[in-house]
């Protein structure tokens, strides 16, 4: 058993009171006669400098702790086992500590791989295992209550990484990780977090911990040929150094590339920066847990440096790293818990000797104090060097992460990530409320590899990427939607049209490259190779990756292929010619009034003439004379009221009253007449010739539909006779059929997709009209395969269609 004493000697240059304190510390540490020693194992790999840093931190933690708590009855006694990098070595060391030294708890082991078996041992022997290095989230799955992770797990930092990816608008990222438990543990969490911010992981690059430089270079070249330029590196320092060195050699640390390091690598590279490594990783982003700069931490740093240099005079440039701080706090927590757990029983219950097995494992005893210690550690909470310290479910809660950007001689701290506020420049909740934390404006300017401050777009057109084969329909008419034109001189095919424009725009809006080529669905002689159903089927039989064109979204095709969202208005409708009902009718001026109104108006004129004559002829000179004069004057008077031109004076008050009422009636009559006639003559009375589908069927009219279209199925479904259906292949043919008229080899109505009808109307606007009964279909969409066959126009393209296509967007109501 090695007893680690506090190794510090007071130095002349040091402050007097501090010297005194350390002197007292030593005194306390030596007073073991009256205190109870508690054995604690320490499993470290002393070949690594980091382990020596941790070891010195643990020793300082003990001396600091018992200096401050001299009255505690227990004293931790460390037994260190060096296991030389080996997983089996770590297990053997732990077994030895439990069996032979009968330790109450074990601090260490340093890596996730070593921790795995040691945790099982601890569970069996009821000895708490406290690791301040093992970060792999997969260790949680062992579900040992005797395992304490005195460090955050790796899955806590994935949200910080995905927040960075989101803030800079990158849509794809490739993780590069070491192929062991440490590397692989984080990947499911990282993938999920990236997916949550709409970033894809198109490829995962696994590098063996024993990979040669050649293998690393080969893998890097492979990454170079792909389009993604955002890499997330998660591995140990030794492999990371080689990876970045090779990446720089082949030019991957230059403009356009983005590298993000997870916290392990960031801590490794930046705590005691090695100038040659720092030169290699200029512009790299990193993430590290944030430890607030407190007075205690600074004074500890100074004391630690003095101490460490005394023990390791050769390690001048060693620096206090984050693992040292975790180790310091973990030791303090353990010392506190051991005191709290009480001093009753530190013995081990021996395994029953009746057991026949001869291995050490079978005869492992059980720590009697284990359950008490377990509870005490779980309940420990204090303010440590790394901040508030407490275990939640055996782990430390997620810390705040600091974002660093490697620049010049080290890491420039450009911002923070907190789980509540996202990316922020300063940790000040009051100011941050006003900021926008999902955008890069939350953090300081980043200088990316290649010394650029503009944000790389995160992808490059791949040099050897596979081109998507996009099928396009071939037909003679309707070139507005898709037109395939051959250029015989150069043997090239040109594909144009509205649908093609939409697709090109969608691909342009994608945040990564999507190389593709159009392949006309035609026989060698240029004729269409089949109907639209046949074309769509080619996607199912994997001849094409997708189909772009005027493809209607209909239900029964979606059984074997998939559609994007529609990019045109949806529905099938009817179009009919319109006829002018009233033009060229000489008797149109009679139309405003019906014949009975004409007759009754005439009768009333006569009647009013008579009434006025009756009331006036006895008193009024104007209404005297011969009988014919009197009749003439009366009627003249009556009819001249029609235009309010009566000139005869009226003297009787009674007749004046009659005339006033009559004039009012005449006013209404003439005004109504004028208004109706005006509207008849000016507004064209255009009427569709047919308004009802059933009328067409009943009268046996001929109707038209487009060649090869699914509309045929709808028409047959409606009850049209097959012999009454005519096809057209272009706008001109369509118009021609209408001109001939039903019964003369033409049609009375035509059915088609609304998009075609609108096109037809835009050409022959004045002669036709669309009739309303619309059969719902899905509109036009792009076709892609149901399987995930490398086609990326799925959800991304749908978003682009919704936001970039100006057509009214209609959700498809599939039957």
Ligand X SMILES: *[C@@H]1O[C@H](CO)[C@@H](O)[C@H](O)[C@H]1NC(C)=O
Q: Which residues bind ligand X (CB under 6 A)?
A: 27, 31, 34, 46, 48-49, 52, 137, 140, 152-153, 155-156, 312, 315, 340, 349, 351-352, 354, 356, 366, 375-376, 379, 392, 395, 397-398, 436, 438-439, 491, 556, 559, 579, 581, 687, 713
* Helix (H) / strand (E) containing 546: strand 546-547
Distance in Å, CB of 135 to ligand X, minimum: 9
In 3D space, the residue among 431, 409, 429 whose CA is nearest the CA of residue 420 turns out to be 429
Task: Determine the Cα–Cα distance for residues 90 and 119; give it in Å rounded to an integer.
Answer: 11
Closer Cβ to ligand X, 97 or 338, answer by number: 338
> What phi and psi values does residue 348 have, to the nearest 5 degrees?
-120, 135
Q: With DSSP H G I counted as helix, E B as strand and the rest as coil, what are the percentages for the chain, rounded to 5? A: 45, 20, 40
Task: Determine the Cα–Cα distance for residues 768 and 761; give it in Å rounded to an integer.
Answer: 7
Distance in Å, CB of 690 to ligand X, minimum: 10
CA distances to 10, 26, 55, 311, 687 from 7, in Å = 10, 9, 12, 8, 106
Distance in Å, CB of 272 to ligand X, minimum: 12
Task: State the Rg of the chain over Cα.
Answer: 46
Closer Cβ to ligand X, 282 or 398, answer by number: 398
In 3D space, the residue among 326, 318, 235 whose CA is nearest the CA of residue 49 turns out to be 318
Burial class (CB in 10 A: 0-12, 13-18, 19+), 243: buried
Closer Cβ to ligand X, 67 or 663, answer by number: 67
Closer Cβ to ligand X, 36 or 201, answer by number: 36
Task: Determine the Cα–Cα distance for residues 552 and 561; give it in Å rounded to an integer.
Answer: 13
Distance in Å, CB of 190 to ligand X, minimum: 12
Distance in Å, CB of 263 to ligand X, minimum: 13
Task: Determine the Cα–Cα distance for residues 67 and 69; give it in Å rounded to an integer.
Answer: 6
Distance in Å, CB of 357 to ligand X, minimum: 9
Distance in Å, CB of 315 to ligand X, minimum: 5
Closer Cβ to ligand X, 638 or 709, answer by number: 709
Distance in Å, CB of 647 to ligand X, minimum: 43
Distance in Å, CB of 613 to ligand X, minimum: 43
Task: Determine the Cα–Cα distance for residues 229 and 455; give it in Å rounded to an integer.
Answer: 12
CA distances to 249, 412, 426 from 245, in Å = 6, 21, 33
Closer Cβ to ligand X, 315 or 630, answer by number: 315
Closer Cβ to ligand X, 81 or 246, answer by number: 81
Give the distance from CA 150 to its chain's centroid.
34
Closer Cβ to ligand X, 392 or 660, answer by number: 392
Beta carbons within 8 Å of 636's beta carbon, 6+ residues apart: none
Task: Determine the Cα–Cα distance for residues 415 and 256; give it in Å rounded to an integer.
Answer: 22
Closer Cβ to ligand X, 376 or 749, answer by number: 376
Asked if 539 contacts 784 with a C-beta cutoff of 8 angstroms, the reply is yes
Distance in Å, CB of 229 to ligand X, minimum: 21
Distance in Å, CB of 214 to ligand X, minimum: 29
* Helix (H) / strand (E) containing 737: helix 731-740
User: What's the first-to-final CA gap in the chain, in angstroms?
Assistant: 80
CA distances to 359, 440, 476, 555 from 757, in Å = 86, 47, 17, 21
Closer Cβ to ligand X, 158 or 793, answer by number: 158
Closer Cβ to ligand X, 301 or 340, answer by number: 340
- Indicate left, alpha or beta for 413 from its phi (over 0: left) and psi (-120 to 50: alpha): beta
């Amino acid at each position: 058993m090695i007893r680690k004493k506090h190794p510090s000697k007071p130095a002349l240059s040091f402050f007097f009171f501090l010297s005194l304190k350390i002197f007292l510390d030593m005194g306390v540490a030596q007073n073991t006669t009256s205190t109870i020693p508690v054995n604690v194992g320490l499993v470290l790999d002393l070949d690594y400098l980091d382990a020596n840093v941790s070891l010195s931190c643990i020793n300082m933690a003990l001396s600091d702790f018992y200096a401050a708590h001299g009255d505690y009855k227990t004293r931790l006694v460390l037994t260190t086992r060096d296991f030389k990098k080996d997983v089996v070595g770590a297990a053997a060391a732990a077994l030895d500590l439990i069996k032979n030294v009968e330790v109450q708890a074990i601090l260490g082991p340093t890596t996730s791989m070593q921790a795995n078996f040691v945790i099982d041992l601890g569970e069996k022997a009821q000895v708490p295992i406290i690791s301040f290095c093992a970060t792999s989230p997969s260790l949680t799955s062992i579900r040992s209550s005797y395992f304490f992770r005195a460090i955050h797990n790796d899955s806590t930092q994935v949200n910080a990484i995905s927040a960075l990816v989101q803030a800079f608008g990158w849509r794809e990222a490739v993780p590069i990780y070491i192929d062991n438990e440490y590397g692989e543990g984080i990947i499911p969490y990282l993938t999920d977090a990236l997916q949550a911010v709409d970033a894809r992981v198109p490829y995962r690059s696994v590098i063996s911990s024993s990979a040669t430089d050649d293998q690393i270079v080969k893998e890097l070249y492979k990454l170079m040929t792909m389009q993604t330029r955002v890499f997330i590196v998660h591995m140990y320092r030794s492999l990371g150094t080689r990876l970045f060195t090779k990446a720089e050699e082949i030019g991957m640390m230059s403009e356009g590339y983005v590298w993000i390091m997870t916290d392990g690598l960031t801590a490794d590279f930046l705590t005691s920066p090695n100038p040659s490594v720092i030169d290699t990783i200029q512009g790299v982003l990193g993430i590290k847990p944030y430890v607030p700069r407190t007075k205690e931490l600074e004074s500890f740093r100074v004391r630690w440096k003095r101490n460490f240099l005394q023990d390791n005079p050769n390690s001048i440039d060693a620096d206090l790293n984050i693992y040292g701080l975790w180790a310091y706090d973990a030791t303090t927590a353990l010392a506190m818990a051991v005191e709290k757990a009480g001093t009753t029983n530190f013995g081990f219950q021996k395994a029953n000797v009746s057991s026949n097995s001869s291995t050490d494992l079978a005869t492992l005893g059980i720590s009697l104090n284990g359950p008490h210690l377990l509870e005490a550690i779980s309940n420990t909470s204090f303010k440590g060097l790394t901040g508030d310290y407490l275990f939640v479910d055996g782990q430390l809660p997620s810390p705040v992460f600091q974002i660093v950007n490697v620049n010049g001689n080290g890491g420039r701290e450009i911002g923070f990530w907190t789980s509540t506020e996202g990316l922020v420049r300063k940790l000040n909740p009051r100011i941050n409320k006003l900021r926008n934390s999902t955008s890069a404006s939350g953090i300081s300017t980043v200088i990316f590899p290649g010394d650029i401050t503009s944000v790389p777009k995160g992808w490059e057109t791949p040099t050897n990427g596979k081109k998507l084969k996009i099928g396009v329909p071939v037909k003679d008419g309707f070139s507005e939607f898709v037109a395939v034109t051959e250029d015989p001189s150069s043997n090239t095919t040109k594909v144009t049209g509205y649908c093609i424009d939409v697709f090109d725009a969608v691909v342009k809006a994608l945040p990564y490259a999507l190389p593709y080529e159009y392949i006309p669905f035609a026989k060698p002689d240029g004729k269409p190779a089949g109907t639209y159903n046949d074309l769509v089927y080619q996607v199912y039989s994997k001849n094409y990756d997708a189909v772009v064109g005027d493809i209607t979204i209909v239900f029964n095709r979606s059984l074997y292929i998939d559609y994007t969202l529609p990019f045109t208005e949806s529905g099938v409708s009817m179009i009919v010619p319109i006829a002018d009902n009233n033009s060229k009718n000489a008797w149109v001026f009679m139309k405003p009034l019906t014949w009975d109104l004409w007759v009754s108006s005439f009768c009333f004129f006569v009647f009013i003439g008579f009434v006025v004559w009756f009331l006036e002829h006895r008193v009024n000179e104007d209404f005297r004379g011969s009988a014919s004069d009197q009749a003439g004057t009366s009627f003249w008077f009556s009819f001249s009221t029609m235009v309010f031109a009566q000139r005869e004076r009226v003297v009787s008050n009674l007749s004046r009253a009659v005339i006033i009422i009559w004039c009012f009636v005449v006013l209404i009559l003439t005004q109504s007449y004028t208004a109706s006639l005006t509207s008849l003559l000016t507004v064209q009375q255009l009427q569709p010739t047919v308004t009802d589908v059933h009328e067409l069927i009943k009268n046996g009219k001929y109707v038209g539909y487009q060649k090869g279209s699914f509309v045929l199925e709808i028409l047959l479904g409606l009850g049209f006779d097959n012999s009454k259906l005519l096809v057209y292949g272009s706008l001109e043919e369509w118009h021609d059929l209408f001109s001939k008229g039903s019964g003369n080899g033409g049609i009375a109505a035509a059915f088609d997709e609304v998009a075609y009808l609108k096109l037809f109307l835009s050409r022959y606007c004045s002669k036709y009209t669309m009739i309303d009964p619309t059969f719902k279909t899905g509109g036009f969409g792009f076709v892609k395969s149901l399987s995930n066959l490398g086609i990326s126009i799925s959800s991304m393209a749908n978003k682009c269609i919704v936001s970039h296509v100006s057509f009214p967007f209609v959700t498809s109501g599939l039957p």
